[in-house]
Homo-oligomer: A and B are copies of this chain.
């Protein structure tokens, strides 16, 4: 039997993750279902950024590069993200944006597979991934991009494939790839799979080492709650670290940056994929955001995400029957957002936001809602679907006199 609002409130009362909501500044009157695009502000991030600005920058000045641990921040935060994605602490670092990291890793991977001509990517995935590969093919002679639909993706990764760039969770549909299977297929073909974890890190279980993943990148500002335009991260499996070279050789990726040598000698580990001076303010907020995820039991997070999803789908089925679920129902096949195809999706979402329910619209026809178990209540889902029903089927106006 479908749960009632009272049932849903009881779930919130018994929710083992309930206290985590208090870690965030959530504005009153807003039901926030866009944490898959920009996570909300953790109170700890506000405090941490204020301390970095006033004390570390303001008082410590240049000395804070050492004294306040600024120089170590990429590796330090990388090690914490490693714990979220099932990697060793020395396999992850934080740098630049997702786009820049995709470029670095895909170029490095292609160089490890000389003579191969194909860069494979799923058709219709997140634009930046496709653009980065196209740019790489434009830059480097002998490489071309081949797109494939999901059923043909594993087959497209063949003996002529250097790199397969794979988005773990699709930014529109929320569909999730079988990471171990596709990585296995890539490795069997001698190709390197580069995973983009932007829509899965902090949201669904990710086990990079267990799946045999060799390279990955991910975003800091979505489920990691790292702040607007937070620095991104990258992962290089230990066995590739000595051979993989960043095409973007910057001084912070040098084995000895403060030796100021003319000769580039890459840092021994994943730190060789750093380039310029780390952006300290963005790192500070990200560090606090990452801790909000690590503070919770990952199994409990994923279980609650699944339950939020089921409730959302069920309530939409009852209250908004004209909407068409675009996300797989099987939890093993999806991430932590839910999407519906909808006529006039853009204006529907605008009307919904005007009612205080913040999801987003993705062209041409998708309503997209992030399911973020750290701070979302079951009742929020109820409220959101009621508002959506009101937008889709407004109470008819009484005929005028």
- The chain A residues found within 8 Å of chain B, CB to CB, are 25, 27, 30, 32, 34, 37-38, 40-41, 45-46, 49-50, 53-54, 56-59, 61-65, 70, 96-100, 103, 107, 111, 123-124, 126-128, 130-132, 134-136, 138-141, 147, 221, 227-232, 245-254, 257-262, 264, 275-285, 353, 358, 360, 362-363
Of B38, B49, B96, B123, the residue contacting A276 (CB under 8 A) is B96
B358 lies within 8 A of A61 (CB): yes
- 10 more contacts with CB within 8 A, not counting A111-B139, A127-B260, are A27-B61, A40-B58, A41-B58, A56-B228, A99-B276, A124-B262, A130-B262, A136-B247, A260-B363, A282-B282
Given contacts A58-B40, A362-B260, contact A99 B229 (CB under 8 A): no
A25 lies within 8 A of B58 (CB): yes
Given contacts A260-B362, A260-B363, A277-B229, contact A32 B50 (CB under 8 A): no
How far apart are A137's CB and chain B's nearest CB, in angstroms?
10
Copies in the complex: 2
Given contacts A132-B250, A249-B134, contact A70 B228 (CB under 8 A): yes
Given contacts A37-B62, A61-B27, A259-B363, contact A279 B277 (CB under 8 A): no
Residues on the B chain within 8 Å of A141, using CB? 141
A221 lies within 8 A of B128 (CB): no
Given contacts A53-B45, A262-B123, contact A64 B139 (CB under 8 A): no
